[in-house]
Amino acid sequence: MSQITIILGAQWGDEGKGKLVDILSEKFDIITRSAGGANAGHSVYIGDQKHVFHLIPSGILNNKTVCVIGNGCVIHIETLLEEINNLKSKNIKTENRIFISDRAHILFDYHKVIDGKQEEMKGKLSVGTTKRGIGPCYEDKISRRGIRFCDLMEWEIFEEKIRNNVKILSQMYGDLEFDLEKELNKYKEYSKTLKEMIIDTTFYLNASIQEGKTLLLEGANAIMLDVDHGTYPYVTSSNPSIGGIYTGLGIAPQKNTEVIGIVKAYTTRVGAGPFPTEQENEIGEHLRQVGGEYGSTTGRPRRCGWLDAVMLKYSMAVNHYDIINLTKIDCLTGLKTLKIAVSYYRKGEKLNSWPASLQVLKECEVEYLELPGWDIDISACRNFEELPVNCKNYILKIEELMQCRIKYIGVGVRRDQIIIK
């Protein structure tokens, strides 16, 4: 086993990263989150009980692990405390198991208000954000007016910064629906509650690596939502690709590292933006219903379509996966014919790479490879050889197209519904 394992979304998110994190977590000492905020939702099923995590790494369900929220994250404290209290109500120990980077940025309620106002201003050009305030919080960070958790530990500095920010942002956006004096009292209490959790996680993680401890680095969102490498501007405001893992934790790439890409057996995305293989028909509806494709953060129905090998090759180029976890292949059961996008054409010419221009992407025609489906229930299969021939062929074709080994195959939502190939 590698000392460090990185789990990354290989599509537009919602691939099922949380399940593999939960399965592998017992082998690791430390589990981390490095980017994003409560816009990400990781769902884990223990038996029939569903656990949804927005900020805390989903590996918290293993009582032996320590969970770290890195400097690249933006954290809404009230949401974090709700998650902690929810875990405590289920008798899951959290004391001395959750640490927050003192360099991470605080997401305030006014960021959510600004998020909504910005979406309204954009009108038809709205990107369909979760309205959780993620973008405006990162905007403050890049504009160098962000407020970090280290500031929360220095009350006079914190108070000065938040008063100044509310003044500036009110001039820009009008009413922020933010009672400053009431919020100051609330954050005074938060500073006491979180005092023991806020540490220099960069020092902690690097020291842990030197000590030989094992780390599972849990990615949020996915490569195609990356602000640099995704379908910009229909992306998140951070870097959920491989680079964001390192900058969001303050660690350097290590030799003994394994990168696992999580690939859903079909494609989904939430919100606006290009989606070349989208199926706005009975196929898309079948996938949505059978796959339960509704956002764990927003509850919005996800757009559904065929697997896209053009996208996956691009994803592979950026993140360089060592192995793949193919998820939700059981949701394809019952479809007579399956399709995989293998090429894009624009004005009769084949594209050699994933286009940066959304206009080019919009004008592309998709070339599909067709494969026969299967109608046998595979949810009880625990060995690759038990799968129907057509299912095995579908998996092997994805391996061939991605030039990467598929090691884990998800055949259901539960922890035990997985094949190790």
Task: Please spell the DSSP secondary structure of 307-354, one letter per residue.
Answer: EEHHHHHHHHHHH--SEEEEE-GGGGTT-SEEEEEEEEEETTEE-SS-
User: Is 175 annotated in the active site?
Assistant: no
Task: Write down the domain spans for the chain.
Answer: 4-102+199-259, 105-193, 263-420
H helices of 343-407, in order, are: 358-363, 389-402
Q: How far apart are CA 305 and CA 275, in angstroms?
A: 8
At 190, list the tokens. 């938060």
Residue for token pair 């899951």: 92
Phi/psi of residue 202, nearest 5 degrees: -60, -50
- Asked if residue 420 has pLDDT above 80, the reply is yes
CA atoms within 13 A on the CB side of 92: 21
Question: Amino acid identity of 11?
Answer: Q
Per-residue model confidence (pLDDT) at position 28: 97
Confidence at residue 73, expressed as pLDDT on a 0 to 100 scale: 97
Q: Catalytic site residue 42?
A: yes
Task: Tell me the CATH architecture of domain 263-420.
Answer: Alpha-Beta Complex (3.90)
What is the separation of C-alpha 190 from the centre of its chain, rounded to a whole number of angstroms? 26
Strands 66-69, 74-75: pairing is: unpaired
Exposure string of 200-228, with b = 16+ CB inside 10 Å and e = fewer, is bbbebbeebbeeeebbbbbbbbbbbbbbe
Q: Where are the beta strands (DSSP E) in 230-288?
A: 257-264, 267-269
- Does CATH number 3.40.190.10 belong to domain 105-193? no
Judge contact between 340 and 307, C-beta under 8 A.
Answer: yes
What does the CA dihedral 49, 53, 56, 59 come to, rounded to 10 degrees? 40
Residue 139 has pLDDT above 70, yes or no: yes
Sign (positive or negative) of CA dihedral 190, 195, 197, 198: positive
Gap between the Cα atoms of 373 and 375, Å rounded: 7
- Mean of the per-residue pLDDT values for the chain? 94
**pLDDT above 90: residue 395:** yes
Taking 70 as the threshold, does the pLDDT of residue 296 lie above it?
no
What percentage of residues in the chain have a pLDDT greater than 70?
97
- Mean pLDDT throughout 79-83? 95
Q: Which residue has the higher pLDDT, 120 or 171?
A: 171
CATH number among 1.10.150.120, 3.40.440.10, 3.30.420.40, 3.40.190.170, domain 4-102+199-259: 3.40.440.10
Catalytic residue among 22, 29, 42, 140: 42
Q: Which residue, 279, 370, 260, is CA-closest to 325?
A: 260
Residue 294's pLDDT band (cuts 50, 70, 90)? confident
How does DSSP assign 284-317, residue by residue?
A: HHHHHHHHT-B-TTT-PBPEEE-EEHHHHHHHHH
In the predicted structure, residue 385 carries a pLDDT above the cut 90? yes
pLDDT mean over 252-260: 95
Catalytic residue, from 14, 102, 226, 308: name it.
14
